[in-house]
Structures are given as C-alpha cells and as structure tokens.
Amino acid sequence: MIQSLSIRALAVLATVVACSSPSPDGFVVTNARLIDGTGAPARTASVRIRGDSILEVGDLKPQGNEAVVDAGGLVLAPGFIDTHSHADGDLREDTTALGAVSQGITTIIGGQDGGSHPDVGAFLSELEARPVPVNVATYVGHGTIRMRAMGEDFRRVATAAEVDSMRRLLRAALDAGALGLSTGLEYDPGIYSSTDEVLALAKDVAAAGGRYISHIRSEDYAFWKAIDEIIRIGREARLPVQISHAKLAMRDLWGRADSLVRILEAARADGVDITADIYPYLYWQSTLTVLFPKRDFENRASANFALTQTTTPGGLRLAVYLPKPEYQGKTLAEIATLRGVDSVTALIDLIRDAERMRKEAQPEFIEGKTVESIIATSMVEEDVAAIMRWPFTNFCTDGSFTGSHPRGFGSFPRILGKYVRGEGVMSLEEAVRRGTSLAARNMGIPDRGTLAPGMKADLVLLDPAAVIDRATPDTPHETSPGIQRVWVNGREVFAGGRATGVAAGRVIKRR
C-alpha cells in the first residue's frame, strides 16, 4: 500500500512545474480523496479554486484554461492552523516559513504565553506591507503589556493605576486586530499577577469580542488550582478561554487526564466556552527557571522536587546555555558527572551562572539572545492520548523555525503518522478536523478550516500512508515525508519537498 501510494505521489509531483504559477483562470484539483475538515467521511471529489477562494467542490470537469492538479487519489484537506506558534518571531529571518509549510500549516497564531510584539498594530501593518508565505494572526501578550506598565519592578501585584495602564495598551492592540489576550502565568512577569488583574483585562477583551488563551499558572504542583483559575476567568469575564499546550507535567499527576477532562466537561456544561490545544510530544522546551515556581533557585528541596516530580536528571537536556556552550545538548546527569557533583547541586549551579550572566554581561552581548533553554521530559503517553481525544482539543506546535525542540517541524506529521496511522487514537478525518475547522473555531477565524465554496483556498495534499515526523532533538529541523503540496490563499507555497518562497499569506484580524 505504501509503495503504490508513493508511485501515485510521484505522478502528482509531475504536475508541479505546470502549476507553479497561478493561472488567471484558477485551477482545479481532481481525483482527490477529499477530507473537508468537518469530520465527515472522506469522499472522492474535485475542488475548483479562483483567486484566493474555493469556488466549487464536487464532481467537476476542467474548464477553459484553468490549470489541473491530478491528486492521484491522495488526501486533499484544508491547510492546518497552528493555534500556538512561536514562529511569528522568525518570519523575517526565515522568509520561506519551511517549518510550517512542510507540515501543511497554512496559518500560525502568535503572541503566545504572554509575550507578543510590543506594538501589535505595527507588527500587523508590516506583515500587510511585506507578506510572508503563511497567514498570521496574533494575541496581545499580558506579560508584554505588564512590563510596559511596570518596568523592571514587576515582582509584585500591580496597582490600580498600573492595571489601568495595561488596559489602555490592551485596547490599542485589540483595536489593531489582536485576537485577544494571552497569558504566561508560569513565567515572569505574569507569575506575579493576581487573578483579579487578569480578570480586569479579560473583561475588556470580552467587551471587544475577543478571546483568552493561557499558559496556565501551573502545569505541575498547583495544576488543579490553575485549571480552576482559567475556568473562573472564562465564567466571570464571559469569553472563550483556551488552555495552551495542555499537559499534566508532574509525576504525581500522571494518569489523571480523565479527571481533567471531567472538570473541563463540567465547566462547558455550566456555560464556560473552554477549549485546549496540544502538541504530540512527552517533552517541552522552556527555561531552567520555570522549574522553580517560587523562584527560590538556591533551595535544594525545590531543586530536588523538580528533579523527581517535574523531570529527571537524565530527562533534562540543555538546548541553549551561553555561560558554557559546550554543555548544549548534554543532559543534567551528564553535566553533573562532568562537574563531579550531584544533580541537585548541578541544577542550582547552572541557574546561578545563567542568572549571573543575565545581570553582568554587556547588554549588547545578550540582547535578543536566549541565555539558557532546556528540553525536559515530563509527560506520559496515556495522558497525551486522553487529552488528544477530548473533542474540544485542537492541535498546535508550540514551536518555532529556529528552536531546538522538534515540534517546530514535526508536530502535525507526528500526529498523522504516530497517533492516527500508528496508534489509532482517532480517525484521519477527526484528526484533520482538529487541525482545521476546530482550530479555526477555537481562534474565531470564520473563513478558513473547511473545504467548501466561499472559504479561503488554504489546502494541503498529503499521502496518509507515508506522512511521519523525522525531526528529533538532535536534528530538530528535519522536514517530514508525506506532505506533497500546500497552497495558501490559492498560491503554492510548498511542493516537491521544498518551500516555494511565495509570499501568499494574509494578516488575520479579530472580527
């Protein structure tokens, strides 16, 4: 089966040259196994494209001078929507957006974890003036506006005047088209905010018809309280809320994803529009400091908790470490052996040295650079699958084009290859729905995510028997086989294993 599909894939690629430029009469994709994004069963159909939109879907014959793409029986689906992306900061450096388009991603949502461009309006205007290959939308980051309102004096609850300053900045970003507010309540400076502060901002977002997305206050030791907090924000502010990259990232939480789902279902039954996104890995990428929720970096008990509950010395790998670049790629266990100390001491020493560099290094040396970053294993397959099965969970990468985590290049192919074809966690039709129409619904994007007349022509042609991720922590920027062709707004951005570089993307603003 795989061999025969690969032969058909070669036949499909033979049409790349003929259809690399848009025809004035548009094009029609014929002989496709259509999965339309709604969750409906796959069917044989053709799709006619005119300009940036889908004109017709059904049993169609080529007309006039329109170009023809013979899908060869492969799957044609809506382009995937990455609801939690950090690639918005990479788009000027990587003008091909290879990490996205090689996965079939046609839309990325930035401004995540409480961090966004400081001037959302300027950011979106620049993208309108100089488009990129993918569609881009953004949230406004709570941490970003908090820093602007409070400066370096952020390690405390904000005053009423400071919250008012944040509200003014928030409203300006919403007026510029931000989808809503994002928070990173496990990170500085958001970790120091009160729920009342976030609620005040969320109510302004609700009044503007926006949404709330959150890296919740704890994914480990205070997980259940953090879930209660986001539900409270959704209930009291009366706006849709989404849990970013949902996970149970602590040993004592493992196996309790069903309890999480029951809580979320109860909240939805009570009128709270709560949803989630997830990426398909057992390890995350963040900073060493996030392992210390109390920011007590010299506390051996806290360090020991992190290395027995949140991760392990062998499961914590340095992705970036400027104080000693030779440590990059090594686990904490390996570094402890090199230094001749126990793992707790090594962890404390690594943070101490990184914090010293942040404070003492010349600003021009560290400006725009990550001083330290880790990849840490904290989850189990049972919970990933359970959260993935929840009907209101859509998919994301939480990645970038330059990061050390393979999720930036491999997330969607990994879902299709490992969790759909390999493990049968859900059907292919349902997986496509999660990555397209559900993602569009959860982000408030009305004209993308399904293959239907009038929708924007964001399309991916894929071989379901061949698609799989190849990116790893050692080679995080490996592209995936099985994604054959990708169109954004009716223009081809990926074909034959390569990005075309066509700047077909649009800015998507809150409606």
pLDDT for 274-319, tens place per residue? Answer: 999 999 999 999 999 999 999 999 999 999 999 999 999 999 999 9
Looking at every residue in the chain, the average pLDDT score rounds to 94
Task: Report the chain's terminal Cα–Cα distance, integer Å.
Answer: 45
Q: Identify the pLDDT of residue 56.
A: 98
Task: Please name the residue ranges forming H helices in 130-222.
Answer: 142-150, 160-176, 195-207
Mean pLDDT of 458-463: 98
Q: What is the pLDDT of residues 35-66, one digit of tens each?
A: 999 999 999 999 999 999 999 999 999 998 89
Please identify which residue in the block is written with the tokens 């013979």: 70
Record the pTM.
Answer: 0.94
CB 116 within 8 A of CB 141: yes
Q: Quick check: 18 pLDDT over 50?
A: no
Confidence of residue 5 (pLDDT cuts 50, 70, 90): very low
Exposed/middle/buried for residue 357 (C-beta within 10 Å: 0-12, 13-18, 19+): middle
Region(s) of the chain under CATH 3.20.20.140: 81-281+378-438
pLDDT in tens, 184-230: 999 999 999 999 999 999 999 999 999 999 999 999 999 999 999 99
CA dihedral 93, 97, 100, 104 (to 10 degrees): 180
Domain 81-281+378-438: what homologous superfamily?
Answer: Metal-dependent hydrolases (3.20.20.140)
- 130 burial (CB, 10 Å; 0-12 / 13-18 / 19+) is exposed
Topology annotation, domain 2-79+447-468+477-499: Urease, subunit C; domain 1 (2.30.40)
pLDDT at residue 470 above 90?
Answer: yes
pLDDT at 365: 58
Q: How far is CA 179 from the centre of its chain?
A: 15
The token pair at 28 is: 């029609």
Tens of pLDDT, residues 386-415 = 999 999 999 999 999 999 999 999 999 999
What HEC string does 251-278 produce? HHHCCCHHHHHHHHHHHHHCCCCEEEEE
Percent of the chain with pLDDT over 90: 91
Please determine, for residue 102, whether its predicted confidence score (pLDDT) is greater than 70: yes
Greatest CA separation for the chain: 75
Average pLDDT over residues 100-110: 98
The residue written with tokens 């100089």 in the block is 130
Q: What confidence score (pLDDT) does residue 367 get?
A: 57
The residues, any chain, with a CB within 8 Å of residue 368's CB and separated by 6 or more, are none
pLDDT at 25: 74
> pLDDT at position 363, please?
64
Is residue 71 scored above 90 in pLDDT? yes
Domain with CATH 2.30.40.10 in the chain: 2-79+447-468+477-499
